[in-house]
Amino acid sequence: MSNFWGQNNRGRGRGRGRGGGGGGFGANSNDGNRAGANPLLSRLGNTSGQFGDQGYHPGGQGSGSGSGFGSMGPNKSGTFIDSHMVGNSGGTAQVSVKGWRGGTEDSLLKFLDTKLGRPVGVMDIHYRGEIMYITVPSADIAQGLLNLSGIRFAGDKLSFQLKTHPVKFGTGGGGRDGGVSNDSVKLKDRLIALLQTRVDMQSNSLDLSMLGQDKIIASLGTDAQQEEKMYKAILVIAAQIYPGLVTINLAGNGLRSLKGVADLGLHFPSLRNLSLMNNLLADFSALDCVSSMGSTVPLKHLDMLILAGNPMAEAELRLPNGGASYVNKVQQRFPTISMLDMNPVVPRAQPGAGPSKGSGSGAQKQLPFPTEQLFVENQEIGDLTNSFLAGFFSFYDNNRNALADIYDQAAQFSLVVDTTHPTSEFAQTSADSQKHVDFSVYIRLSRNLTRVKSPQRRISSLIVGRASVMQTILQLPETSHPVQDAQRFSFDAWQTLVPVAAGPPQTVAVVAVHGEFTERSSQNLVSFDRVFVLAPAPPGSPAAAAGSPCIITNDQLTIRRYNGFYSWLAPSASAGPAEAPATNTGTGTGVGAGTGTGTSLTAEQQEMARALQEQTGMNAGWTLKCLQSYGWNYQLAISEFPNVRNTLPPEAFQ
Amino acid sequence: MSSINEIAKQFVEYYYQAFDADRRNLAPLYRPMSMMTWENISLKGADAIIEKLTSLPFQRVAHKITTIDAQQSLPGVNAIIILVTGQLLVDEETKPQQFSQTFQLVEDSGFFVYNDVFRLNYA
């Protein structure tokens, strides 16, 4: 039988040579949650109940660990916030605000201005415990605020109350909060003093490094829990006195999170240089809150960034080819930087631009956060998935009967129809999305658990066993999946170790793929999501004989009205068709890796190509040319690139 | 078998209700070995996952579930793979966006989320 699965049989038997793992694909890999020491493996066998205490009861545990998500104890009230001392007068109204502590005073007031649709014009702010009391110019505005009760702000719900008997706040020593006000005035003075010793007005830079050793900070006796608030307060005050800062140094502060400085972009829109050197940031996601990935006011003009000396940078750089993936992970968050850790990098976006996603793809999408085409845990599983999908869809379209070899004896299949009308701009103008598509043949099989209520029907609609699965899928309309066009597919793949009664644990792969097919008879375009659970094909099995690296134990198919593939296209791909930002971008083959030029590239070469392409912005073809001309010496290619850049034609970057 | 469907449906309904009310409420559903991918970002452990979810750049979000499908998944373990599709609406947006999310629940003194793959697809 001819091998539809392409060249890639690497999955089988791979474990033998590496660490004696099971025969599965990628069993040697040690990242992710299927590492050998997985606690899951030693604690299986417990059978009872659903969602035990740890699993199903919110509020039981798990809310505020580490550097906190905005939960503040009642004893940590507004100490760090500036109190304006303005008296009440006629016509004004006092409103209490609860639930705002996830954000800063500043961000709250801006938020309220926006939500009210006009300036709130706050005349006075006081605090008592967790409650903020604001005085506004008119009862009208107060009413407007009351109407906002329940609105979400910084992870919490705000509640407003009109104080018909305004709470009086003394100006020192008198009222219950007098001491607090005094403290906060003193605190503000100290922080101003701190800033004055650390600012350089000529260069518009502020040195906030090693605050732990600062006498002024030491005199405040700040404990670790208050640190986040201290940073917020410092930034608020700094923004008031030095709004034009372009450089901020936060090195050596033991920061585990950037929550305290999450408003950097809000306060310092022109910030160009930021050092976070020698802190304790353990994961790249810690950067999200100041980047376009997690902030609505990211650092849009950031040019130089220093992250050296953080665990996440060091860990990444220790990985094979970690230099490229390190730069990649940072640039995903800060596409405008041209220097990282004092090394030049090629910026991905112009300063001031929004997230790089928006720039290339025109008006196609308006997403609340960036999307990406695919995630694979590592190169091996990426290869395996490419190979599997290309083979599977090729069989599914052209020789569905042959899939009997690929489904496990006990395989399960289910089909669900999502009849939602797509709302994307693409769908509004696409004839394929607007067209009436008859899903009745699928709906008969659909086991959407939100609709199918009868337990019997829920069970009977799940197709179990190879023979039944085959019988079912052979009834489905004939299809054509455009596997040669990688950009039309998005997939995620990961792997998991599961215990086996006798012998080493087995590796399984879970693949979630999103894409489209054409129904041959109707020529309708249909979008789908499909999840596979794959196990290694046992040696000598029909699957192995057919050249498939794996067998399918689970297959879940959801079909939807056509909605295109623009949401996961990266800007480079939408600018020039056929450049898939896949793991093996360098080959430009994506899903069809088994049939394209990828066959001649090793995994290492593909990784080099991907990294070089990201570094230089060259297209796949020129990236390959470049690497070939430097004899696949990545370091040489990247170091020579600036010298040859001007000699390259514009199309090299298209 | 029916219990798998019940568990999946209960889980999904609970998950999005908790997500929409306060993302921090999701912490008890994850454990240190839980893994999430959010678009192409990979996160491991309840802390990292919740931190990511709470730092998403919107204040309010409402999920509407359109479809749920569930199958018993891993051999030798009590595990469920769940494929969800639906729509979500953030902040003041009026146009819902389509997403799909794949969960793998594993039972170990109660079910927890072992794998979680979110995709804002077809948006």
Confidence of residue A276 (pLDDT cuts 50, 70, 90): very high
Q: Which single residue is written with the structure tokens 């930087």?
A: A337
Work out the number of other CB atoms within 10 angstroms of the CB of residue A252: 18
Query: Is B38 strand, coil or helix?
Result: strand
Instruction: Please check whether residue A42 touches B, CB under 8 A.
Output: no
Q: Which residues from chain B sit within 8 angstroms of residue A151, using beta carbons? A: 59-60
Give per-residue pLDDT as tens, B57-114: 888 899 999 999 999 998 777 899 999 999 988 888 777 888 999 999 998 888 999 9
Nearest CA in chain A to B92: A115
A238-247, A616-625, B57-66, B93-102: which has the minimum mean pLDDT? A616-625
The residue segments making up the domain with residue B22 are 2-120
Give per-residue pLDDT as tens, A515-573: 999 999 988 999 999 999 998 888 888 888 887 888 999 999 999 998 888 776 644 33
Residues of chain A with CATH 3.30.70.330: 64-180
d(CA A171, CA A126): 11
* E strands in A268-406: 273-275, 304-306, 339-340, 343-344, 375-376
Looking at CATH, the fold of the domain delimited by A64-180 is given as Alpha-Beta Plaits (3.30.70)
Burial class from Cβ neighbours inside 10 Å (0-12, 13-18, 19+) for residue A383 reads buried
The verdict on pTM exceeding 0.90 is no
Confidence of residue B19 (pLDDT cuts 50, 70, 90): very high
**How many CB contacts within 8 angstroms connect chain A with chain B?**
294
CATH class for domain A375-568? Answer: alpha beta
d(CA A516, CA B17): 30
Window B:29-58, CB contacts with A under 8 Å: 29-35, 37, 39-44, 46-48, 50-52, 54-58
Q: Which residues from chain B sit within 8 angstroms of residue A498, using beta carbons? A: 74-77, 79
How many Å lie between the alpha carbon of B28 and the closest alpha carbon of chain A?
5
Residue in A61, A70, A501 nearest the CB of B28: A61
Number of domains within chain B: 1
Confidence of residue A67 (pLDDT cuts 50, 70, 90): very low
**What residues contact A331, with CB distance under 8 A and at least 6 apart?**
A337, A340, A345, A348, A614
Residue A138 confidence (pLDDT) above 80: yes
ipTM associated with this complex:
0.91
Confidence of residue A355 (pLDDT cuts 50, 70, 90): very low
So what's the pLDDT on residue A171? 43
Q: Which residues from chain B sit within 8 angstroms of residue A492, using beta carbons? A: 37, 102, 117, 119
CB A171 within 8 A of CB A121: no
Length, in residues, of chain A: 654
Residue A16 confidence (pLDDT) above 50: no
Residue A14 confidence (pLDDT) above 60: no
Report which listed range, A18-27, A52-61, A194-203, is most confident: A194-203
Q: Which residues from chain A sit within 8 angstroms of residue B55, using beta carbons? A: 262, 285, 288-289, 294-295
Confidence of residue A602 (pLDDT cuts 50, 70, 90): low
Residues of chain A with CATH 1.10.8.10: 579-653
CATH class for domain A579-653? Answer: mainly alpha
So what's the pLDDT on residue A182? 56
CATH dotted code for A184-344: 3.80.10.10
CA A176 to each of CA A171, A172, A180, A182, B110: distance values in angstroms, whole numbers, following the listed order: 11, 10, 8, 11, 48
Write out A27-70 in H/E/C secondary structure.
CCCCCHHHCCCCHHHHCCCCCCCCCCHHHHCCCCCCCCCCCCCC
So what's the pLDDT on residue A507? 78
C-alpha dihedral (A389, A393, A396, A397), degrees to nearest 10: -170
d(CA A309, CA A580): 34
Residues of chain A with CATH 3.80.10.10: 184-344
Q: Which residues from chain B sit within 8 angstroms of residue A568, using beta carbons? A: 119, 121
Residue in A50, A66, A372 nearest the CB of B39: A372
CATH of the domain at B102: 3.10.450.50
Confidence of residue A230 (pLDDT cuts 50, 70, 90): confident
Residue in A70, A424, A560 nearest the CB of B123: A424
How many Å lie between the alpha carbon of A425 and the closest alpha carbon of chain B?
8
